[in-house]
A and B are shown apart, each in its own frame.
Chain A
């Protein structure tokens, strides 16, 4: 049930997103500014993700491994 709801929300978002205003490449100057693309900070935040992995019960912090580092399985 939970998975079905998630998939439904995701599908709705895809459909809604495709109906948005089309932004041409030459209109994307603002999208290059700091903070608009979090992938630019991905490597810088891997360490924090690893820390969260060993100090918090949740995932979703960018951590790439389930274990290792100070024996905190």
Chain B
């Protein structure tokens, strides 16, 4: 655990080193961009996750843009499944993830086309994930209308820490089509559709489901089609410097899960350097057609699952976020950071799922250059 903490601290140190190099780029005057570093924390009854992460983005005057990010998950969990014993035990696991993208915006007279290729790789002791794809965004009407299409390929390898010979593969294709429209000088509307297709090993190698009195390995269908439709609205109210942001998602899939997620956010500017965000999110879903709890009847031979997210449940989330701009640094030896922002957010989720309630807290900062 101490070694993992050292690695987490090393990641934070890299963020600070990055801030220095960002200033060097600003001095050259040829590239612009942003460096962002964050520390994320997740807490629920039997799981804690700490994730330091950072990202750098840069854009050249000719429209070429690049990004790179890195994260490390430090996961501590109490679980019968992963320890392989008959009783709860605590395990700690590390996950490293890197991502990168490169793209360019092409000016086509009355429209602009942005093409970006991106990739992400993450690895931990029992899981390797590779995601790569293409993003495109076409804007017209002086960028008041933007149509976005994303295509991703997923290629994951699943292992087990308690069954050394086990290996499962998971393949997937995901696509997302969205449209954003500036309707008036203070109103933006958006709609989007996502389609996902997964095939391969879609269960969890650790989980066991009860058939009668005996536990059996979880067995999920080998493919899954997922559909998600969402709409959003952002409306600025000049009299109070308030932004109201609303989103609504409807999800259905081939496992008979249907979910609805309305969310409301209010951004309140407090002077020039503070922004307070309050949010409320509701989530509800139906159960997968093969999910039974607490056990399947004796002699059952179909798909079995003990995955809490296959069950019917709902949750409510409330959260606050405070952002602060470091404008007071203007004119000092840290003048390069006068437009940097720091933020702190805490969200509390109340869920009827068997995972229980949880807390998500993040602290971060971003420095433009």
Contacts and interface: CB of A to CB of B under 8 A. Distances in A.
Given A44-B343, A71-B127, A31 B227 contact: no
Contacts of B122: 65, 68-69
Interface in B304-322: 308-310, 315
A36 B181 CA distance: 12
A52 B275 CA distance: 25
A47 B198 contact: no
Contacts of A20: 144, 181-184
Interface stretch (B12-20, B23-31, B187-195): B187-195
B179 A13 contact: yes
Contact of B267 (A33, A43, A67, A73): A33
B234 interface: yes
Interface in A46-60: 46-48, 51, 54-60
A73 B201 contact: yes
A58 B95 contact: no
A69 B234 contact: no
Contacts of B147: 14
Interface stretch (B46-54, B109-117, B209-217, B328-336): B46-54
Contacts of B145: 17-18
Given A17-B145, A60-B251, A68 B40 contact: no
B69 interface: yes
A32 B205 CA distance: 47
Nearest to B73: A69
Central interface residue in B75, B185, B253, by most chain A CB within 10 Å: B185
Interface bin, chain A: 35 or more
Contacts of B364: 44
A48 B53 CA distance: 13
A21 B181 CA distance: 11
Interface in B29-53: 36, 38, 40, 42, 47, 49, 51, 53
Contacts of B228: 58-60
Query: Looking at chain B's contact residues, is the secondary structure mostly helix, strand, loop, or mixed?
Result: strand
B142 A25 contact: yes
Given A22-B141, A43-B38, A48 B360 contact: yes
- Centre residue among A13, A20, A30, A65 by max chain B CB count within 10 A: A65
Contacts, number: 208
Nearest to B81: A71
Nearest to B235: A36
Interface in A1-59: 2, 6, 9-10, 13-14, 17-18, 20-25, 27-31, 33-38, 43-44, 46-48, 51, 54-59
B136 interface: no
B241 interface: yes
Contact of B234 (A21, A24, A36): A36
B42 A71 contact: no
A40 to B, nearest CB: 9
A72 B257 CA distance: 18
Contacts of A27: 185
A35 B127 contact: no
A33 B131 contact: no
Contacts of B208: none
Contacts of B105: none
24 contacts: A13-B181, A22-B142, A25-B143, A30-B238, A33-B243, A34-B275, A35-B243, A35-B245, A35-B266, A35-B267, A36-B234, A38-B234, A43-B38, A47-B38, A47-B53, A55-B351, A56-B285, A60-B251, A66-B172, A67-B156, A70-B47, A70-B49, A70-B73, A73-B202
